Amino acid sequence: MSGMYHFFFIRHAESTGNAAKIFQGWADFPLSERGLEQARLLAQEWAREERRFDLCISSPLMRARQTAEIFAEALGVAIEFDPDWRELHNGIFAGLTSEAVGERFSESEMTPYVHYGESGESRWQLFLRVGNALQRLMDRGPGRYLVVSHGGALNMAMYAMLGIPLQTIRGPRFYFSNLGFAEVEYDPVKKRWELKRLENRE
């Protein structure tokens, strides 16, 4: 197999849930007016830089979908929606404020196997789900891919690509602001991942 895999993994722009400091999970909030403008400005910047992708793959949650649609239009790329790129399912915490969630549990007590919000996913389940999504990307073959997702899911993608094991304690965290992105390459000849760039917009 020859050719390189080029990935841009980007978090969605600001949602109304972000603006209200809500622990969103699978709760489906649209982009805020600020988020819509953020996405348009960065998409236009990338269009001027003539960045090109073979495909855009997005979480179907509204905040990611709207972000992906703005980039797809500006860059002239097709979109596919993959539910495995959704954010962590946080059970009964979905739609609650961060303050309300903080009063009910402490992340310091979490292990990779504890379900968020009682009925949500564990970090282990999220890791496996995102790993499956990443495998499908690799199965497409070398190319340039734009993936629009969420902070928790993108952290698990970074773990999978960089060989970081899940730990009983919280472990390292990659911070993705709204529209923060990671540029990552995979060389199938050397069989090596390389993190080229991690950029946040805030």
Distances (CA, A) of 5 to 79, 128, 135: 18, 21, 12
pLDDT of residue 108: 62
Percent of the chain with pLDDT over 90: 82
pLDDT of residue 1: 43
Q: What is the largest CA-CA distance in the chain?
A: 52
Three-state DSSP class for 193? strand
Beta-carbon neighbour count of residue 150 at 10 Å? 22
Domains contained in the chain, number? 1
Report which DSSP code applies to 107.
Answer: G
Q: Are strands 55-58 and 22-23 parallel, antiparallel or unpaired?
A: unpaired
Residue whose pair of structure tokens reads 């009983």 in the numeric block: 168
Q: Which of 10, 11, 7, 1 is nearest to 55 (CA)?
A: 7
Pairing of strands 79-81, 55-58: parallel
Residues designated catalytic: 12, 87
Q: Would the pLDDT of 58 be above 90?
A: yes
Q: The pTM is what?
A: 0.94
Please, what is the average pLDDT of the chain? 93
Residue 86 is given by DSSP the state: S
- For every residue of 37-59, which 3-state class applies, written as one string? HHHHHHHHHHHHCCCCCCEEEEC
CATH number, domain with residue 104 = 3.40.50.1240
Q: What is the pLDDT of residues 130-153, one digit of tens each?
A: 999 999 999 999 999 999 999 999
Type of residue at 54: D
Q: Which domain holds residue 59?
A: 5-199
Q: How confident is the model at residue 87 (pLDDT cuts 50, 70, 90)?
A: very high
